[in-house]
Chain A
Amino acid sequence: MNEYANRYYVVISAIVFVAIIFIIRLFSIQALDPSYKATAESNSTRVVIEFPTRGLIFTRDSALMVENKSSFDLMVIPENVTAFDTSYFIEILQLDSIQFIKEFIKAKKRSYIPAMVYKEIPDSIITKFQELQWMFPGFYLQTRALRHYPLSSAAHILGYIGEVDKNMIEKDAYYKQGDYIGITGIEKTYEVLLRGKKGRKLYLVDAKNRIRGSYKDGEMDETAISGKNIVLSIDSRLQTFGEQLMANKRGSIVAIEPSTGEILCLISSPAYDPNLLVGKNIASNYTQLRNDEANLLFNRAVMAQYPPGSTFKLVNALIGLQENVITTHSHFTCAGGYNVGSFHLGCHHNGSIEFYYSIQGSCNAYYCHVFDRILRNKEFQTIGESYTEWRNYVMQFGLGKRLGTDLAQELRGYIPEASHFDKYYGKDKWTPLRLISMSIGQGELGFSPLQMVNMTAAIANRGYYYTPHLIKNIEDLDTIPSKFKQKHTIDIDSAYFEEIIKGMEMVMKAGTAANAYVQGLDICGKTGTAENPHGKDHSIFVAFAPKDNPKIAISVYIENAGFGSTFAAPLASLLIEKYLRDSISVHQWETMLLNTSINYKTK
């Protein structure tokens, strides 16, 4: 055996060889490769996101418009589940068995991770489940906050929240899959304020994902910051009353406080219950709303482009006065309308019409003459120039451009540029007669009800307006965005405003809206009736009250309801009185409106 003594060296070298390999390997794992450290950290730490409560939304009269309601989702940790009576379980929880089983099988693939197997267990079953929970280890309920709208009103203002989409996740790192975000309306505009800030807690977890303690004593934790509560300028009484009055009619009501630009109510009809776009049925309900023939999701108040009708005469009168093409003493003849050669635009007067009466009686012929004078103004070389000047004045009222309110879907409306006519008729080869219908708010004009009420507010203010807005106050900040505090002044002498307001006063007292006169409210208004190729005329009314220090300006637009005086004017009077007096005196108007249902035939 001793002749093999050198094998001792073979053996010891083999051993040392293995040891060296181990040490090299350990050096590379432990000293060179930092990835193991990182993996160990992520292995044993779990980030638990704390979701802040979303801010509540109140009205100016302190009514709660949007609150959070907890719903209960059925969760499971599959590895804790013991054999259980599936059919009994499904029965007491009133689950859709196919859906439940599908989700449960999915959850079992990662058995130690909590998974949601059923969304929004109905409230009525919660207590029963909690009593019987001991029979089903592994299952538990987890609360989740859903939006709830106690007034079931103002859906178009508030908008809705939904799960964030991929684009948004890519754009803004704050959002993670499954987070909720405001998709339209106020929920979207004030998303950042309402959502607050997510917090996070880091925990040490063991291999089964059970929490064993806080990570680094909570040094890296961040507490969630609740979303800010906000107050909207909406008056809940006006909003809900207006919605009731607009039932079974299409159109819009918008009211503003002229001195601030605060929107008091913003109604688009037909409306829907905002509670439909909450929770697990959101997708199916959304599809249903969108596919509805009345286009329920369409916010007429800011998106519709209606012809303003005779209400637009107010603007033309002001521009005419400012441009010195007419005075308050100007008279024009109305011979059952405006006649130039073979051209005839009908009216219902006979004789010479004076300035104030042109408003009171809404004379078409008068404003054809006014518009004709504006466009033939000697101060300008061409009709294109005078038209552009006129257009600039109109736009100073916030018409035909985006006002920049806090509803993102707002559209700009439409006033054609001079080039539009140049294209049709050749450069400056067009005459006032070609666009004469614009003098009475017809033709190519298209404004939203919001723009019309803003125009009215500017008149009420005698020449300026604040961008209409819905935000009234933000919790803790006690302010609103500065753009809403900025005054927009119109280059028209305020004295001229006083003159047309006199006419508007007469509209109520003895004019086209005399039927909607309310004693002592001091309403100044203007009716409108817009011709409409698709059916009956639209009924339009704009007004403000009281005459001095106006508190409310309003525009009412009811599609296919006929004369402005018939429906729109009494409706406006009702809301103004409701707002100023918190009561109504002429109940037959209310009854009449509530009982009116306009038939919108589908083609």
Chain B
Amino acid sequence: MAKSRNWIANLDWITILIYVLMIFLGWINIYAAVYTEDQPGLIDFSLRHGKQLIWIMAAILIAFIILLIETKFYYYFAYVFYSIFIIILFVVIFIARDINGANAWLEIGSFRIQPGEFAKFATALAMARLMSTYNFDISDRKDLLKVMVIMFLPVVLIIMQNDLGSALVYFSLLIVLYRYGFPGWILLLGIFFVGLFVASFKISTLTLTFFVIFLASVLSAINFRRVTEVSIALGVFTLVLILSWVMIKLVDIKIELYYLVALSFVFSSIIYGYWIYSKKLGFVLLMLGFVFMSLIFLFSVEYIFNNIMGEHQQNRILVLLGEKDDPKGIEYNVNQSKIAIGSGGLTGKGFLQGTQTKYKFVPEQSTDFIFCTVGEEWGFLGTTSVILLFIALFWRLLVMAERQKTPFSMLYGYGVTGIIFFHFAINIGMTIDLAPVVGIPLPFFSYGGSSLWSFTILLFIFIKLDSSRQNIL
């Protein structure tokens, strides 16, 4: 068929060009970050920039191979990939060695890879595959559950590896559901829980509980214009709270107020729920459910934080949320990162002239904080250019996604965009103190084979799918 040959002509060369530009700029900045006067060599395979050069070569090779493989392969093998990576992720939990507090690395000889990185494309493929099946119906609870399982199984496994950052990335796949037609409020709910998570470290759980209850009440009231009922509910709640507090005081048991609130809430909602049930006010029940979920969520966050996470991660979270003052710790890193970027000024200090990155004031400056090198040596012009380059990539990816004839390719395209965007937003956000320091790389820029290859695979599968968009699967 003529079609099978014209995929080369159909390749989206703009995207490939952006890709090449990005890995080139990334390498230049890695070189600058690693550079010292003592070891000025451009190609030294014992140093990071030398190694990155090898990763880049390999990545280009990988890209070629991906482009050569038939499009159908990705569709049919989507679940296979996914299953393989789930198994690997599962195995990694048990055999991986602790590196920076995470057990996320698989070691083969002197070679280290991070399966969590590669599982992203497999998950995106699997989701696209599932959601593009003919009889998939998002409003069917069974189907929704399936998608959720595919999406969050890796999250659970990666969290068990203690790699919070990589796990969070999977939430970006919600964008696929959104584009598919999933109601927007679900996404808003997701954002709400993320906010609640962050807030739970800044504000006391008790206050948050009240806030959630208040919010639910207000929402109910707005929805039904039934202020009376809501007031009654709040009244019952307060009454039970006061009564139980007095009782606790009488018997003199040491118990945190927080638990009392939860308790009184349970009581009042049972009474209220029964009353509501008799009046068949479904939405109020929904709100009660919402408050219950919030409480459970808050409990679990607290529990996971205190009992499951290691000190390293606790600190990371606390400091990035501004809850811990630790000039030599995480906050120090963010500070140094801002100083490095800020000191670049409008036009930067020039290539290899950065002192903050070169002299290691910024931690992880070739991996997670590579953007600092850009900021210090190339200034505002450099950082803006990089951001615009990413915007160009996202625009391209979305344009490509929208022109797909098959839901599979289109949904995968959205998955790719979501994942890369999440990395972009969190990574750059953390270097300028707008996002938590969760330690995820900047796509195509950061040093590291796993990350470069996984993004290459992620992107080029989509480029390949796009190139054969005329073919109907």
Interface residues of A (CB under 8 A from B): 1, 3-5, 7-8, 10-12, 15-16, 18-19, 21-23, 25-27, 29-31, 33, 35-37, 39-41, 43-44, 204-208, 212-213
Q: Is B360 a contact partner of A30 (Cβ separation < 8 A)?
A: no
Which of chain A's residues have a CB closer than 8 A to the CB of B410?
1
Known: A19-B387, A22-B429, A29-B342. A12 touches B434 (CB 8 A): no
Q: Is the CB of A26 within 8 A of B383?
A: yes
B415 within 8 Å of A by Cβ?
no
Residue B201, interface by CB 8 Å:
no
Q: Are A29 and B432 also in contact (CB < 8 A) when A18-B425, A36-B338 are?
A: yes
CB <8 Å contact, B361 and A30: no
Query: Are B356 and A8 in contact, CB atoms less than 8 angstroms apart?
Result: no
**A40-B356, A205-B359, A206-B361 known; A33 vs B342 contact (CB < 8 Å):** yes
B379 to chain A, nearest CB (A): 6
Residue from A26, A44, A205, A206 whose CB has the most chain B CB atoms within 10 Å:
A26
Digit string of B392-420 for contact with A (CB within 8 Å is 1, else 0)?
00110010001000010010001001000
Residues of B close to A15: CB separation below 8 A:
391, 394, 421
Question: Given A21-B434, A204-B355, does the pair A27, B380 have CB atoms closer than 8 Å?
Answer: yes
**B341 located at the interface, meaning its Cβ lies under 8 Å from any Cβ of chain A in the complex:** yes
Q: Give the residue of A10, A11, A208 whose beta carbon is less than 8 angstroms from that of B417.
A: A11
Whole-angstrom CA separation of A4 from B181 in the bound complex: 6
What's the interface size class on B, roughly?
A: 35 or more
Interchain CB contact under 8 A, B356 and A19: no
Which one of B234-242, B302-310, B312-320, B343-351 is at the A interface? B343-351
Complex-state Cα separation, A10 to B344, whole angstroms: 34
**Min CB gap A108→B, angstroms:** 13
Q: What are 24 A-B interface contacts by the 8 Å CB criterion? A: A7-B178, A11-B175, A15-B391, A16-B391, A21-B434, A23-B384, A25-B432, A25-B434, A27-B380, A30-B342, A30-B345, A30-B375, A30-B379, A36-B342, A37-B343, A40-B340, A40-B343, A40-B356, A43-B339, A43-B355, A205-B359, A207-B359, A207-B361, A212-B359
Report the Cα distance A205→B338, complex, angstroms. Answer: 18
* Neighbouring A residues of B375 by C-beta, 8 Å: 26, 30
A151 to B274, CA, bound (A): 103
The residue that A30 contacts in the complex, of B346, B355, B402, B429, with Cβ under 8 A, is B346
Is B180 engaged at the interface, CB distance under 8 Å to the other chain? yes
User: Residue B407 contacts which of A1, A30, A36 (CB distance < 8 angstroms)?
Assistant: A1
Within the assembled complex, what's the spacing in Å between the Cα atoms of A10 and B380?
A: 28
B59 interface contact, C-beta 8 A: no
- Choose from A23, A33, A44 the contact partner of B361 (Cβ within 8 Å): A44
Give min CB distance, A251 to chain B, whole Å: 62
For the complex, what is the distance from the CA of A23 to the CA of B402, rounded to whole Å?
A: 27
User: Min CB distance, B414 to chain A, in Å?
Assistant: 8
Are B344 and A30 in contact (CB-based, < 8 A)?
yes
Q: Is B390 an interface residue (CB 8 A)?
A: yes
The CA of A279 and the CA of B425, in the complex, are separated in Å by: 59
Taking Cβ atoms with an 8 Å cutoff, the residues of B that contact A are 36-37, 175, 178-181, 336, 338-346, 355-356, 358-361, 375-376, 379-380, 383-384, 387-388, 390-391, 394-395, 398, 402, 407, 410, 414, 417, 421, 425, 428-429, 432, 434
Question: Which interface residue of B338, B339, B380, B384 has the most chain A CB atoms within 10 A?
Answer: B339
Q: Which residue of chain A has its CB nearest to the CB of B132?
A: A1
- Complex partner residue of B398 from A8, A36, A44, A207, CB under 8 angstroms: A8
Q: Looking at the complex, which one of A1, A16, A19, A31 makes contact with B181 (CB distance below 8 Å)?
A: A1
Please give me the residue from chain B that is nearest to A9 by CB atom: B398
Q: Tell me, rounded to whole Å, the shortest Cβ–Cβ distance linking B254 to chain A.
A: 36
Q: Which residues from B are CB-within-8-Å of A204?
A: 355, 359
| Known A11-B417, A207-B361; 15 more pairs at CB < 8 Å | A1-B180, A1-B181, A1-B407, A1-B410, A19-B391, A29-B341, A30-B341, A30-B379, A37-B343, A37-B345, A39-B343, A40-B356, A204-B359, A206-B361, A207-B359
Partner of B339, one of A16, A23, A39: A39
Chain A residue numbers with a CB within 8 Å of B361 are 43-44, 206-207
Residue of A nearest to B355 (CB): A44
Q: Which of A12, A26, A212 contacts B384 (CB 8 A)?
A: A26
Closest to B424 in A: A18
CB distance from B296 to the nearest CB of A (A): 29
The docked-state distance in angstroms from the alpha carbon of A205 to that of B361 is: 10
Chain B residues within 8 Å of A30, by CB: 341-342, 344-346, 375, 379-380, 383
> Which residue of chain B has the shortest Cβ distance to A213 in the bound complex?
B37
Which A-B residue pairs are the 9 nearest by beta carbons? A36-B342, A40-B343, A206-B359, A30-B380, A44-B355, A29-B342, A207-B360, A207-B361, A4-B181
What is the CB-to-nearest-CB distance from A32 to chain B, in angstroms, rounded to a whole number? 9
Complex CA–CA separation, A385 to B383 (angstroms): 90
CA distance A491 to B127 in the complex (A): 116
Min distance, Cβ A308 to any Cβ of chain B, angstroms? 68
Whose C-beta in chain B lies nearest to the C-beta of A210?
Answer: B359
Find the B residue at minimum CB distance from A205.
B359
Which residue of the partner chain, among A4, A11, A19, A37, contacts B390 with CB atoms under 8 Å?
Answer: A19
Bound CA span A44–B346, Å: 20
Chain B residue contacts of A206, Cβ below 8 A: 358-361
- Residues of the B chain whose Cβ atoms lie less than 8 Å from the Cβ of A22: 387, 428-429, 432, 434
The residue among B346, B358, B383, B414 with the most chain A CB atoms within 10 A of its own CB is B383
Contact of A208 among B175, B179, B360 (CB under 8 A): B360
